[in-house]
Amino acid sequence: MFSDIQVAPSILSADFANLGRDVQMVADAGADWIHVDVMDGHFVPNLTIGPNHVKALKRVTDVPLDVHLMIDNPEVQVPWYLEAGADSVTVHIEACKDAAAIIQTIHDADAEAGISLNPETEVEALEECLALVDMILVMSVHPGFGGQSFIEETPAKIEAIVAMCKKANVSPRIEVDGGINAQTARLCVGAGADVLVAGSAIFNADDPAAALKGIRDAAD
Ligand code: DX5
Ligand code: ZN
């Protein structure tokens, strides 16, 4: 029924001492994207990884890298991730001075461009970008940490974004990120999401491959 649903395991919950191994594990389990959470300690109160990790991950997998930049001044750093080989780069609307220019920079490098919004940001903030992006990333937790609880208002927000897109006659992919498990995946897909990011639900599971499959199957 929802056969084009994609699953993007977030390596934020992987074993950073064995990142290559964990990425290969979810690639073998059928991941559609590897979701790479970049945090700068300013835009969010946490610090993770940088372009060197993206470059290194490109060497261990053919699964496209979905780089989620939770950083200030993305206009400065986006080129670093493009040069490192990111297949998709998502920036936050709250951090962009000129979102259209950043999206253009991403497209000029033949990568896919995404725009994200925090839970407290109104959907109208995306209006200027709707027709420019390949993907809209809806945060279903406050960005910064894995393992948080899903914000219940998210499906309604996804529905509002889908309605805005319909009105504008565009159809970017809708990705949802934070607190996704088989149960919340179902709610989000029902509301119109088609890319599911999951970190702790996959990497903290006893059987990560089964957990990934469980999230994908929940959407059917
Ligand atoms: C949170 C990150 C997410 C995070 C999701 O700021 O953007 O990608 O890894 O983790 P879970 O799935 O554990 O909520
Ligand atoms: Zn993320």
Helix (H) or strand (E) holding 145: none
What distance in Å separates the CA atoms of residue 178 and residue 142, rounded to the nearest whole number? 8
CB of 199 closer than 6 angstroms to any ligand 1 atom? yes
Rg of the chain taking only CA atoms, in angstroms = 16
92 lines ligand 1 (CB under 6 A): no
| pLDDT score of 220 | 76
Tell me 97's DSSP state: S
Provide block-wise average pLDDT over 10 residues at a time, the chain (220 residues): 82 98 98 98 98 98 99 98 98 98 98 98 97 98 98 98 98 98 98 98 98 92
Q: How many residues does the chain have?
A: 220
Write down the pLDDT at residue 1.
45
Active site residue 37: yes
Instruction: Give the integer Cα–Cα distance in Å for 119 and 143.
Output: 9
* Nearest alpha-carbon partner for 154 in 167, 136, 135: 136
pLDDT of residue 3: 56
Instruction: Output the pLDDT for position 200.
Output: 98
**Residue with CA closest to ligand 1 atom 4:** 146
**Residues ≥6 apart with Cβ < 8 Å to 60:** 20, 23, 24
Q: Model-level pTM greater than 0.95?
A: yes
Ligand 1 atom nearest residue 148's Cα: 14
With a 6 Å cutoff on the Cβ, whether 46 touches ligand 1 is: no
Sheet holding 34-39, edge to edge: 6-9, 195-198, 173-177, 135-139, 112-117, 88-92, 65-70, 34-39
